[in-house]
Structure 1
Amino acid sequence: MAHPAPPLARRLDGLLFFPVTAFDAAGRFDAGGYRAHLEARLADAPGAVFAACGTGEFPALGLAEYAQVLATAVTTTAGRVPVVGGTGYGTALAREYARAAEAAGADALLVLPPAGVDADQDGLLRHYTALAGSTGLDLILYQRDQLVFTPETVACLAEVPNIVGFKDGRGDLDLMLRIVSAVRTSGARDFLFFNGMPTAESTQAAYRAIGVPLYSSAVFCFAPDLALAFHRALEKGDAATLTVLTDTFLRPYVELRRQRPGYAVSLVKAATRAVGHPVGEVRAPLTEPDPAHVTTLLALLERTREALA
């Protein structure tokens, strides 16, 4: 007799992989290219795959191709790690994407902000509670862009059985500390906290200090060795390696990423392509990065590897 999978809180362990979504030369979803990208990175044993989320260009995916992306991720991982899909927009559309992810066999959803809506806290409670009630999947809430939760709202939502985590992409450590404290004192058990800042490695030491142990890794797409070196050093408290990675790679890379809007996705995808994965270009409104910036990034990777060696 099959036994149910353990709760998500006990399955999300290790480096969390946020793959780019592969497109072919005509701009269509490329299942083969996506599968190859996933397989290559699964060999490095990430803790989970977050498919069709921010790095995977969720806002650029139609519902049908989103379902294809999730189904490809689920069949490729074959139960080796949890698959978390993205969802977002208003309540009605978020439910549609949630149903598609559930039908594809995903384990959970990362809920991006309801775009174009300036909701108050009561509205956020209604939105996320309604979404949670419409799906059997676990939900991780994502605070980013214009969306800001109060600690009281997060503590209230943490009482919903299938709202299991909260991810921060705004970088307000004071607010995040108060959210962690509010959820902890509310009595919620096994609630997950994630650092969702662009290039989260650059801020993870600070997030970990306030009780946020998990983080996104887009770097894993194009430099899995460096992403894993950082994760191992963080787990072991290896300050010397963390210093090398911060000074030689993370700080210069973050400065490069800030050269143009959208580089948190487009530069990652271009670098992934440059290191041998045919994942195609980004979709509008994102634009391809300056080739000189890609060259700079590749040189930065080599310098970092030399420094670590």
Structure 2
Amino acid sequence: MSNERKAPTGILGFPITPFNESGNIDEKALSRNIEFLLENDLEAIFIACGSGEFNAVSIKEYESMVEMATSLVDKKVPVYTGVGGNLSDALAKAQISSKHGADGYLVLPPYLIEGEQDGLYEYYKSILLSTDLNAIVYQRANAIFQLDALKRLIEFPQVVGLKDGVGNMELNIELTQTIGNRLGWLNGMPMAEVTMPAYVPLGYNSYSSAISNYIPHISRHFYDALLNDRKEEVRELYENVILPINRIRKQRKGYAVSLIKAGMEIIGLPVANTVRPPIVPVEKEHYKQLEKVVDKALEKYPVDHRVAHS
């Protein structure tokens, strides 16, 4: 575990949770997913978060996933975990994360209740005080901090970043331009490549990439082109890869997760197109649509077409 009080920057890897046909976690497939992300130079690993079906794994499964991730990563990059939901569960998962040497956690919303800012602050405070790990605030659903409450929360040195999954740009401007570099700013919108050009000018220097689970070299190509103002390359990547995948993603609820598994299966990674309810697997027609986009993407942007880090 690192004591550095700094959020990860760059392209962040969010492994999925692969299940076998019996519905159990496929540990071999999960191991390969993590290794694939490391091989492709993702700057951090976020295990058992939203794309990892955090809501659907047991405490025992969660611990085995965290233990596997920290062991495989072996301090090459930071490892963050997902904690949230019921406060007791969140505190238990925070302790597990600390026990297995994670660098920090991404704090997801509390279960169901939409509380006042004071209540939200107390929820986060309880988690922050339970360990000394770094924490990233996740703005989404029923957990959206306004400026005053966030100012109070960042008095705790453990809070190193804010991940936005809402897209309220007025609020984003108020937060980033008031708080500045006290926090790291992470774009956590669905298919974050779509919105990243709007986030970079505000100080966001990091994002979670769903497609990095199966076409990470394209994530890298896109981000490098964006940061270096290669507008035509960005436009072509939107036209050929990013927007077509995003259109498929929007056809069914839950595809933000299950479409990742379909993409991984298409490129030959050992993962079945299986998910846990309430998420549904990708329908055959949508699977075929994704397969066409991925095949075209790999033809136009071969895997060995790598670009240097910016």
Class of the TM-score when normalised by the shorter of the 2 chains: over 0.9
Amino acid at match of 1:31: E
Pairwise CA distance, 1:308: 4.8
Amino acid at match of 2:31: R
Tell me if the contact between 1:23 and 1:30 (Cα under 8 Å) persists in the aligned partners. yes
CA distance in 2, matches of 1:236, 1:94: 40
Tell me if the contact between 2:3 and 2:103 (Cα under 8 Å) persists in the aligned partners. no
CA distance in 1, matches of 2:213, 2:117: 35
Pairwise CA distance, 1:307: 4.4
Q: Does 1:172 align with 2:168?
A: yes
Amino acid at match of 1:26: S
Taking structure 1 as the reference length, the TM-score comes to 0.93
Tell me the equivalent position of 2:184: 192
Tell me the equivalent position of 1:117: 113
Tell me if the contact between 2:10 and 2:207 (Cα under 8 Å) persists in the aligned partners. no
Q: Which residue among 209, 212, 236 is the counterpart of 1:217?
A: 209
Residue 178 of structure 2 aligns to a residue in which SS?
helix
Pairwise CA distance, 1:161: 1.1
Residue 15 of structure 1 aligns to a residue in which SS?
strand
Q: Does 1:24 align with 2:20?
A: yes
Tell me the equivalent position of 1:71: 67
Residue 106 of structure 1 aligns to a residue in which SS?
coil
Alignment of structure 1 residues 251-262 onto 2, 5 Å? 251-262=243-254
Q: Does 1:7 align with 2:22?
A: no
CA distance in 2, matches of 1:127, 1:249: 39
Tell me if the contact between 2:263 and 2:294 (Cα under 8 Å) persists in the aligned partners. no
Tell me if the contact between 1:241 and 1:308 (Cα under 8 Å) persists in the aligned partners. no
Amino acid at match of 2:291: L
Tell me if the contact between 1:154 and 1:183 (Cα under 8 Å) persists in the aligned partners. no
Tell me the equivalent position of 2:242: 250
Structure 2 gaps of 5+ residues are 303-310
Tell me the equivalent position of 2:306: none
Q: CA RMSD in A?
A: 1.6
Residue identity over aligned pairs, in percent, reads: 33
CA distance in 1, matches of 2:55, 2:86: 13
Tell me the equivalent position of 2:307: none
Pairwise CA distance, 1:8: 4.6
Pairwise CA distance, 1:76: 0.7
Q: Which residue among 208, 230, 247 is the counterpart of 2:222?
A: 230
Q: Does 1:52 align with 2:44?
A: no
Q: Does 1:131 align with 2:123?
A: no
Tell me the equivalent position of 1:285: 278
Amino acid at match of 1:246: Y
| Bigger mean CA offset, 12-21 vs 296-305 | 296-305
Taking structure 2 as the reference length, the TM-score comes to 0.92
Pairwise CA distance, 1:69: 0.5
| Bigger mean CA offset, 279-288 vs 259-268 | 279-288
Q: Does 1:84 align with 2:80?
A: yes
CA distance in 1, matches of 2:178, 2:90: 27
Amino acid at match of 1:290: E
Pairwise CA distance, 1:181: 2.1
Amino acid at match of 2:295: E
Question: Alignment length, in residue pairs?
Answer: 301
Residue 204 of structure 2 aligns to a residue in which SS?
coil
CA distance in 2, matches of 1:25, 1:257: 23
Pairwise CA distance, 1:305: 4.0
Q: Does 1:205 align with 2:228?
A: no
Pairwise CA distance, 1:213: 1.4
Tell me the equivalent position of 1:241: 233
Q: Does 1:159 align with 2:155?
A: yes
Pairwise CA distance, 1:306: 4.3
Tell me the equivalent position of 1:142: 138
* Shift in CA distance, 77/155, structure 1 to aligned 2, threshold 3 Å: same
CA distance in 2, matches of 1:128, 1:147: 10
1:162-208: CA deviation from partner (whole Å, max 9, x where unpaired): 01111110111111111112323xxxx54111110010011001011
